Amino acid sequence: MQRTIFEPEHRMFRDAFQTFLEREVIPFHAQWEKDGLVPRETWRRAGEQGFLAMSVPEAYGGAEEPDFRYNMILGEETWRVGATGVGVGFGLHSDVVVPYFLHYAAPEQKERWLPKMVNGECITAIAMTEPSAGSDLAGIRTMAVHDGDDYILNGQKTFITNGINSDLVVVVAKTNPDRGHKGISLLVVERGMAGFERGRNLEKIGLHAQDTAELFFHDVRVPVANRLGEEGQGFVYLMQQLPQERLTIAVGAVAAAEAALDGAIRYCKEREAFGQPIGQFQHVRFALAEMQTEVQIGRVFVDQCVLALNRGDLTTEVASMAKWWTTELQKRIVDQCLQLHGGYGYMLEYPIATAYLDARVQTIYGGTTEIMKEIIGRSLLR
């Protein structure tokens, strides 16, 4: 089925980003997987070519008019070529963190930070998860106490994407612990602030090129001027921005499933067993037919969600549907495609093996499948 959501300028943008990946990413990605890090120089080159923070207004160095379809293209292409370290890192920066600055930052904060986010000089992260608190944000223990013109920040965060590379970290902290959800605020911690320490680059089963770290805050003085929005409104801000984060994950999930299926189809045409290509066996044809159908369903749904986001009417419930269904689809499709590769699918030299490892976290971060279903279920019983 032909996709109809893109205009000629989107296709030109896709071509340009494909060229960027071919020149600046694909030849080096295997080494980045070993290093556990994407070089900052690559971020700068991406920024110079307009591939970061596309939703930032032209006044701050960004695009003339925000359009999430450009973000979508970046997510699709990075997952398509298996450059998931770049995909997750760039996507987290552009699709997840930057919107907090666009919607809640004061004018002087925007002037200070947004241009550097666009050109790749400033890499961002958001720190929500803690060792004892994941999806339940009310359970966070990181505290920020007023002291004159500063907050004194203490606590620990874990599983933070861009945790090593980041220059600015939006930290979710309790500024009034007695008020529950209404006592949470968002503070911007900058690289080099005294008492801000990074732990090890965590070893994961997949997404190896994407740096994921523990962060520690020991009496860090964060100026009140570094607070995003109003004090005590952090939880509200998080809920407002999570639909886009979850749609970003869904975009990658469908693209990854498509890439895995395309690879499996090629393999089934070439690999022979019992004197014929394995694609000639009815079981294999049926498996491919089922996967192609499901991937097409996911593609149509996600495309419509992107258009809804552009219109401003993507709901939390629909974004949750997209996130849980497409990430579970990705896991299932990649697993079946690996099975069709037989023993070769278990070898890391084959892209399907890496795709299998990278897929596993998709149903966890951004809200687990179980949390997504809970959100949807509650909305039906209001």
- Token pair of 180, please? 């529950």
* Bridge partners (DSSP) listed for residue 238: none
| Burial (0-12, 13-18, 19+ Cβ within 10 Å), 63 | middle
Give which of 382, 306, 348, 62 is closest to 206, Cα–Cα: 348
Q: Which residues contact 66 (CB under 8 A, 6 or more apart)?
A: 54, 55, 56, 57
Give the chain's radius of gyration (CA, Å): 21
Distance CA 329, CA 9 (A): 30
**How many other β-carbons are positioned within 10 Å of the β-carbon of residue 378?**
10
| Dihedral angle sign, alpha carbons of residues 172, 174, 180, 183 | negative
1 DSSP 8-state letter: -
- Token pair of 368, please? 């687990």
Catalytic residue among 108, 245, 270, 370: 245
Give which of 99, 97, 94, 48 is closest to 74, Cα–Cα: 94
Give which of 83, 87, 75 is closest to 26, Cα–Cα: 83
Distance CA 130, CA 140 (A): 7
245 as an active site residue: the answer is: yes
282: enclosing H helix or E strand: helix 282-311
- Token pair of 100, please? 């907090």
**Which positions are annotated as active-site residues?**
245
